[in-house]
Amino acid sequence: MIYAIRAVSTEFIKFGRAANVGKRMETLSTGCPHELELVAVADWPDGQEKAVHLYLQDHCQRMEWFMDGIKAQEVIGWMRDRENGMRDLLRATRQLRKDWRDKPQKRVKPLIEDERKVWSATDKIRKQMANALLGGHA
């Protein structure tokens, strides 16, 4: 079972898996300063937890806790949709993986070029400072 548990009065939602969600809530509430509420449960295979985390990775706060927002609400909607929810999640994560495969070089190359420009500018500034301090003898 995949579950979504909200820490009441916060923007945090935990997406995880457990055979017994009630026991899991009890365990989580021990030592938690916030009241917890069960938001959604999906009878999906345990492996789907990774798909949920992948889809929400940009909103991860700590481990399995995510910020509430459009994507988190989308996942909760899929969890509540017994007919098509898992299919929609798989579609979304498949698209994410495809996007990453298509774009890695496009993202990395500009970062490397920008880093070179920064180092080049830093070296120029360092030389100018040395010249100023040494009266033009550097």
**30 and 58 within one domain:** yes
Q: At what angle do helices 85-102 and 70-80 cross, to 10 degrees?
A: 140
**45 and 98 within one domain:** yes
d(CA 54, CA 21): 21
Containing structural domain, residue 12: 2-102
Residue 47's SS3 state is coil
**129 and 96 within one domain:** no
Number of domains composing the chain: 2
Residue 115's SS3 state is helix
**12 and 77 within one domain:** yes
**75: closest CA among 100, 41, 99, 47?**
41
| Residue 132: predicted pLDDT | 74
**136 and 76 within one domain:** no
70-97 tens-digit pLDDT: 999 999 999 999 889 988 998 888 888 8
Joined together, the tokens standing for residue 79 give 């969890």
Backbone angles phi, psi at 42, to 5 degrees: -125, 135
**47 and 34 within one domain:** yes
**39: closest CA among 65, 69, 15?**
15
**23 and 80 within one domain:** yes
35-65 tens-digit pLDDT: 999 999 999 999 899 999 999 999 999 999 9
**40 and 79 within one domain:** yes
DSSP state of 68: -
Whole-number average pLDDT of the chain: 84
**118 and 88 within one domain:** no
**115 and 76 within one domain:** no
d(CA 79, CA 34): 23
| Residue 108: predicted pLDDT | 47
**128 and 83 within one domain:** no
pTM to 2 decimal places: 0.70
**130 and 64 within one domain:** no
CA dihedral 49, 54, 60, 66 (to 10 degrees): -40
